[in-house]
Amino acid sequence: MRLKQLYIWTMVTALVLASHSSLWAAFGEDIEKPKPVFTQEGTDWVTELIPRGKSTPIQIRFHVDGGMLAKPVDTDFTDANRPNINWKNYRSGYFLLDIIPESPGGEVSLTLSSNYFTSATDIWGFTERKTRTWGTIGIKTSSVKGEPTAITSVIRDGSVLDEDGMADGKIQIIIGPRDSFWGYALGTLVIRFFGVFLVLSILMIGMMLSGKIFESMDAKKKAVFPAPIPGPAPVQYEPEAVEPEPVPVEEIPADVAAAIGLGIHLYSNGGRNLRLSDDGMKAAAIGLALHLQKTSGAEV
């Protein structure tokens, strides 16, 4: 069970780190670079891509009045060596457009529209060729409720917006839909924050369900193989006290006992009926006892 829990928490950590990879992209390496796919609809071109800070694809429509638009191409300012461009402000990336005006030196009207755009979205490009200044080229924004937000710019062949700067009947321009970085960062934080909680909630529900399944399986096993009923505990009997066997005492022969008793009597009474001194009485008693012991062979 512990190994399963460790495996689940390892997967949770991996998912959380994976969900945060895009969040770190808002402050470091551009690992969320959009990869647009272009399709043609009549004279318009439509691209589908996943912008930075978003997990679902969006569409951007390119429309030109007064000329013909070739297939747009996504570009990278790192490869194009464009200075002072902060890609964090361009969630949809950058596009290289080739436009053929109706006449050399003529003007065309370029319109980009998308449900992803807001009233604060703008179109930026090069506004000063010598200083390589990058700035807004959008002159009109149309935002109608229920319709895509459209941003329109007028471009003249050979103007500063034209990459070759020549009125040669071909306009080439690099543009990028621009939004504030802080809006992108805050949106990314909100999306990732709720995304992490959603993933953790799903995993927690999965763990609870798996725990119920394991409990059910254990209950079924116990029903099939019931635990043995323990028998009565063995009765503990205390050992009976054993009386020590009496030490055998060697019996003293009657004549020896009589002699010893006589000796003790003579010694105790001091020989009242015998006229002997104290020392003499003691000696007589001891002598009598030794004599009897010697003659009978008993130990005193």
d(CA 73, CA 69): 11
More confident residue, 195 or 11: 195
Q: What is the pLDDT of residues 179-215, one digit of tens each?
A: 876 665 666 677 677 778 788 888 888 888 888 888 8
Residue 43 has a pLDDT of 92
pLDDT digits 0-9 by tens, 74-104: 988 655 456 567 777 888 999 999 999 999 9
Distance of CA 187 to the CA centre of its chain: 25
Written as one string, the DSSP assignment of 37-93 is: EEEEETTEEEEEE--TT-SS-EEEEEEEESEEE---EEE-HHHHT-TT--GGG-TT-
In whole angstroms, what is the distance from residue 279 CA to residue 267 CA?
10
Residue type at 288? L
Q: How confident is the model at residue 118 (pLDDT cuts 50, 70, 90)?
A: confident
Q: Residue 101's pLDDT is what?
A: 95
Nearest Cα neighbor of 179 from 211, 145, 138, 215 is: 138
pTM: 0.53
Q: How confident is the model at residue 244 (pLDDT cuts 50, 70, 90)?
A: confident
